[in-house]
Structure 1
Amino acid sequence: MPRTSRPVTARPGLVLATVSVCQLMVTLDASIVNIALPAMGHALGFADSALPWVVNAYALAFGGLLLLGGRIADLAGHRRAVLWGLVLFGLASVLGGFARTPAELIAARAGQGVAAAVLAPIGLTLIMVTFADGAARARALGIWSMVTAGGSALGVLLGGVLTDLLDWRWVFFVNAPIVLVGLALALRSVPAVRPPLTGRPDVLGAVLGTGAMTVLVYGLMATDRHPWGSARTLATLGAAVLLGLAFLLWEARFARAPIVRLGVLRARTAWMSSLLVTLLGAAMLAGFYFCSLFLQNVLDYGPLAAGAAFLPFCAGTAAGSMVAGRLTARFGGRATLTGALLLAALGMLWFGGLGPHSGYLTGFAGPSIVTSVGVGVCMVANTAMGTSGVDPREAGLVSGLLNAGRQCGGSIGLAVLSTVAVAATRRSATEGNADAARAALAAGYDRAFVATAAVLGVATLLALLLVPRRRSTGRAATASLADGDRDGAVPKVASPQ
């Protein structure tokens, strides 16, 4: 008789290793390209206005399809979702590494974002259905959280190392061995159990929502070439508004299984938290982008040195995340959020004073630490607030909304602030030597940093005026959210079968 393959049974240790590998790759690729951007732009002939799409293509696809990705995982089965997501991520990465034109590279980044939208929610789902509630799950969430934080830090450093020692294409090729390891682990650890189908994926809702965001970002980024009052700009922004209204109407009235149940936003804490994380995402994605360019284009750092320069930022974010729970428990959500956002705004304003002759310790490391601590505290405290005012059964949906808001807000912020930087650089440009060119670039980046600080200032004011006064609902909830609110927060947790 022919041998039949034995069914795979869940092995908690291997499951945790599988989701950790997936989460590492997702968070790694959110930051690894930043240091390689100047090299990519030079090699493929990117226009300054088009270069942000290398970041935005990933963030838009990831954020726009995140909720749909969680739904697909529940309908298709966890094993299939992991395998499909890994294969797609690997293929998109290889295509990105071999890209010969800006369009090919941007398409590859979008493919990575689609795959990330499947892999990110399934990771936390597998932890919830594999580990029993209690100490075992807490340990698993702690490890998963550390991998998430470590992936962002490793991405910045690894991007510099690969670009400097090999070539920018290796920031894509490095995913190939990670994918192979993930596939091997998934085949051995994730059971081929398919949950019962409860409906169809809300594909139209995902297309409308992602389409609205993409058209909006495109219209905003094109304002450096087409004035705000031009027919093309108005038509593009109008189309984005229409797509957005169609998305809301579809989700509210016609979708049988909507990816976003709009009623959850009736809770004040839910919509307020979503608004704050959108503003924070807009500020921070743009901040990372402009810091990377400033280090290399103005201060003449090599990719390796630029990657290492971000380590204080990564450390500050981790430190802020660790103390956020205690601060919220002692001072309450409003005071903690207001203080953290103000700290981040002041740090970004400090960045706005950088110049061609700025030193590293006082010119870059100082504002990096101030900004990152504020960001770390805010992300955890804001998620605790967002989920505290809704039914516990919908906490996963709110977490998914927060992650989607952070990604999409980042895309909008980067689009707007890129046009601000380009316009300021053009106004400051004069005929002269390389020093004059660097001074013009610095002027553009500084203007973008100040505008980013203004965005954080608006968020600070909103938190002061609108966030409820009451204290955190509990240290355990805050700690749990501190673990869960990363790029892999899960929109929906399926029950084990």
Structure 2
Amino acid sequence: MKLSGRPHPPWAVLTALAAAQFTVMLATSIVNVALPQVRAGVGLSDGGTTWVVNAYGLAFGALLLAGGRSADLLGGRRVLLAGLGLFAGASLVAGLAASPGELIAARAVQGLGAAAIAPAALALAMGLHPSGPGRGRALGVWGAVSGAGGAGGVLLGGVLTQAYGWPWVFHSVALAAALVLAAVAALVPPVAGRGAGRFDLVGTATVTLALTCLVWGLTTARGAGWTDARVLGALIGAATLIAAFAVIQHGRPDALIPPRLFTTGRVAAGNLLMALLGSVWLALFFFLPLYQQQVLGMSPLVTGVGQLPLAGAIMLGAAAAPGVSRRIGGTATVIPALLTEAAGLVWLARIKADGSYLADVLGPSILVGLGLSIAFVQLTALAVDGVPRPDAGLAGGLVNTTRQVGGAIGLAALATLAGSVTATASAHQPAAVALTAGYRAAFLVSAAVLTATALLALPLTRGIHRSLKVEATR
């Protein structure tokens, strides 16, 4: 796709697009702190409370590929505006919901809107900066707003819940989406879609159903267990549908995921590593606020304020990542970043039931934020670099999909691990000690996953980054 004109400065356009990404990430985490109040206000059961979070993540993760391809065929700006409108409306309905069904349905529609917003906004941002230092700076901004949106959601959720009540958690997102929609309409120039080509309905339906089964199975496993018949059926169904999708895509002229996307090896490497990074990303923002509230006894507001250093570290790391990469190379940047995040998680694994925020949370959260943001920027750059412009939306949808699905897998596995450790410890330990033991296990395993990711990144990225340097020289 091609930007047809630039009546406004690129920085202003990038600001509007980054605000769209921030809003999507904000909606992912803003509800977490408010869940107890949401449960009481709408009359949710334990399972229903879980699905307030899961409905959004399920629709978001399952439909990202469809959203990315729609942006390529119909035009990124058009899809982005439609997604923002749907997202704003669903957020408003969620805040007005009077029953569990209404709230969960609104969250699912909110996820559908997010699945259109995220890949379209990323494709438009990369279209503004096809290559060179400008793209690095744009990706730095993207990394900053993505991480800050996750951390800022916890802060804003705590403030709004304590000051105005849980409905404003959703109303604030609706207002933000409406403002971003107006900014995109005013600042982002019209974009021509690819025009030629058909939408791969069979492939899209197959992979969307496969991802739905996968994410549903993983999220359900957190409460029902891995041996539950529904969980096993969903996971087997997902594997079968993914195999069918691979067969369907073979030789199709308008395949949803065309083979040309993987000709350089960059997209495959970037997405594999992003899935592993994502597997601990969501878990961090899930377990850390729980430790602060359930063990340290912090209020929702104080818990949110406690996320500010993490958000600041994420923004600082994302801003520094492009410059560091230009000086020492992509491989030499991403591996230390992953190991830095792993070191922060090992530090978090030393939390205590009688600990404090300053002694147990502040230092490691800063270290984690720096490593997470730098690694995210580098892996996003790798996953979209060298992609033909007609496939930019799909590449953006794919890297977001791998992060979301990786996050769902990681959170399901780590939540099961933490719950098992807590259940065992609770037989002979106080509740706070048992909970802390579960959180420590989750952080320690997360650190091990990131260490393995860093080791895997060495052979996967070395040759690729060397070829990028050769291309840049030419």
Same fold, judged at TM 0.5 (above): yes
After superposition, the Cα gap between the structure-2 partners of 1:192 and 1:212, relative to the gap in structure 1 and judged at 3 Å, is same
Preserved contact between residue 53 and residue 106 of structure 1 (Cα < 8 Å): yes
Select which of 84, 105, 111 maps to 1:86. 84
After superposition, the Cα gap between the structure-2 partners of 1:17 and 1:277, relative to the gap in structure 1 and judged at 3 Å, is closer
Find the counterpart in structure 2 of residue 378 from structure 1. Answer: 375
Cα deviation, residue 323, structure 1:
2.9
Select which of 435, 451, 461 maps to 1:457. 451
Find the counterpart in structure 1 of residue 270 from structure 2. Answer: 273
Give the whole-Å Cα distance in 1 for the aligned partners of 2:139 and 2:420: 45
> Which segment is superposed worse, 81-90 or 124-133?
124-133
Select which of 183, 207, 210 maps to 1:209. 207
Give the whole-Å Cα distance in 2 for the aligned partners of 1:472 and 1:70: 29
1:442 is the counterpart of 2:436: yes
Find the counterpart in structure 2 of residue 110 from structure 1. Answer: 108
Cα deviation, residue 29, structure 1:
1.4
Cα deviation, residue 190, structure 1:
6.0
Preserved contact between residue 154 and residue 307 of structure 2 (Cα < 8 Å): yes
Cα deviation, residue 106, structure 1:
3.4
Q: Once superposed, what is the RMSD of the aligned Cα atoms?
A: 3.7
Alignment of 1:277-288 (within 5 A): 277-288=274-285
> Which segment is superposed worse, 242-251 or 55-64?
55-64
After superposition, the Cα gap between the structure-2 partners of 1:227 and 1:361, relative to the gap in structure 1 and judged at 3 Å, is closer
Aligned partner of residue 30 in structure 2, secondary structure: helix
Question: Deviation per CA, 1:211-253, whole angstroms, max 9, x where unpaired?
Answer: 2223223333444565545654433321111111122222234
Query: What letter matches 1:114 in structure 2?
Result: L
After superposition, the Cα gap between the structure-2 partners of 1:242 and 1:31, relative to the gap in structure 1 and judged at 3 Å, is same
After superposition, the Cα gap between the structure-2 partners of 1:103 and 1:20, relative to the gap in structure 1 and judged at 3 Å, is same
Give the whole-Å Cα distance in 2 for the aligned partners of 1:81 and 1:163: 32
Question: Deviation per CA, 1:317-336, whole angstroms, max 9, x where unpaired?
Answer: 22222332344344433333
Give the whole-Å Cα distance in 2 for the aligned partners of 1:262 and 1:65: 20
After superposition, the Cα gap between the structure-2 partners of 1:207 and 1:305, relative to the gap in structure 1 and judged at 3 Å, is farther
Preserved contact between residue 251 and residue 260 of structure 1 (Cα < 8 Å): yes
Cα deviation, residue 279, structure 1:
0.7
Cα deviation, residue 301, structure 1:
1.0
Give the whole-Å Cα distance in 2 for the aligned partners of 1:16 and 1:188: 13
Find the counterpart in structure 2 of residue 355 from structure 1. Answer: 352
After superposition, the Cα gap between the structure-2 partners of 1:225 and 1:88, relative to the gap in structure 1 and judged at 3 Å, is closer
After superposition, the Cα gap between the structure-2 partners of 1:345 and 1:229, relative to the gap in structure 1 and judged at 3 Å, is same
Cα deviation, residue 147, structure 1:
5.2
Query: What letter matches 1:448 in structure 2?
Result: A
Find the counterpart in structure 2 of residue 419 from structure 1. Answer: 416
Preserved contact between residue 353 and residue 432 of structure 2 (Cα < 8 Å): yes
After superposition, the Cα gap between the structure-2 partners of 1:166 and 1:147, relative to the gap in structure 1 and judged at 3 Å, is same
Find the counterpart in structure 1 of residue 249 from structure 2. Answer: 251
Question: Deviation per CA, 1:26-83, whole angstroms, max 9, x where unpaired?
Answer: 2321332233234334555666676554444333322332232233234445564344
Structure 2 unmatched ranges of 5 or more: none
Give the whole-Å Cα distance in 2 for the aligned partners of 1:133 and 1:348: 34
Give the whole-Å Cα distance in 1 for the aligned partners of 2:315 and 2:325: 16
1:310 is the counterpart of 2:307: yes
TM-score, length basis structure 2: 0.84
Question: Deviation per CA, 1:329-373, whole angstroms, max 9, x where unpaired?
Answer: 444333332222122122112222212211212200111111111
Select which of 27, 33, 36 maps to 1:35. 33
Give the whole-Å Cα distance in 1 for the aligned partners of 2:452 and 2:132: 39
Question: Deviation per CA, 1:269-315, whole angstroms, max 9, x where unpaired?
Answer: 33222111001001111111111111111111111111111112112
Preserved contact between residue 280 and residue 456 of structure 1 (Cα < 8 Å): yes
Give the whole-Å Cα distance in 2 for the aligned partners of 1:466 and 1:145: 21
Alignment of 1:142-153 (within 5 A): 150-153=148-151
Preserved contact between residue 208 and residue 244 of structure 1 (Cα < 8 Å): yes
Find the counterpart in structure 2 of residue 12 from structure 1. Answer: 8
Aligned partner of residue 336 in structure 1, secondary structure: helix
Give the whole-Å Cα distance in 2 for the aligned partners of 1:30 and 1:225: 20
After superposition, the Cα gap between the structure-2 partners of 1:186 and 1:310, relative to the gap in structure 1 and judged at 3 Å, is closer
After superposition, the Cα gap between the structure-2 partners of 1:48 and 1:268, relative to the gap in structure 1 and judged at 3 Å, is farther
After superposition, the Cα gap between the structure-2 partners of 1:388 and 1:407, relative to the gap in structure 1 and judged at 3 Å, is same
Question: Deviation per CA, 1:90-147, whole angstroms, max 9, x where unpaired?
Answer: 2211222233455543332221121112222333455566799999999988877765
Alignment of 1:111-126 (within 5 A): 111-126=109-124
Question: Deviation per CA, 1:371-423, whole angstroms, max 9, x where unpaired?
Answer: 11111221122234445576687666444422221122111211221222222
Find the counterpart in structure 2 of residue 292 from structure 1. Answer: 289
Query: What letter matches 1:337 in structure 2?
Result: V
Aligned partner of residue 33 in structure 1, secondary structure: coil
Cα deviation, residue 172, structure 1:
0.5
Aligned partner of residue 116 in structure 2, secondary structure: helix
Preserved contact between residue 59 and residue 408 of structure 1 (Cα < 8 Å): no
Aligned partner of residue 33 in structure 2, secondary structure: helix
Aligned partner of residue 352 in structure 2, secondary structure: coil
After superposition, the Cα gap between the structure-2 partners of 1:192 and 1:310, relative to the gap in structure 1 and judged at 3 Å, is closer
Find the counterpart in structure 2 of residue 3 from structure 1. Answer: none
After superposition, the Cα gap between the structure-2 partners of 1:359 and 1:90, relative to the gap in structure 1 and judged at 3 Å, is same
Give the whole-Å Cα distance in 2 for the aligned partners of 1:451 and 1:121: 30
Give the whole-Å Cα distance in 2 for the aligned partners of 1:156 and 1:459: 27
> Which segment is superposed worse, 355-364 or 79-88?
79-88
Aligned residues: 467
Give the whole-Å Cα distance in 2 for the aligned partners of 1:357 and 1:416: 27
Give the whole-Å Cα distance in 2 for the aligned partners of 1:429 and 1:280: 31
After superposition, the Cα gap between the structure-2 partners of 1:197 and 1:404, relative to the gap in structure 1 and judged at 3 Å, is same
Find the counterpart in structure 2 of residue 198 from structure 1. Answer: 196
Sequence identity of aligned pairs in percent?
Answer: 41
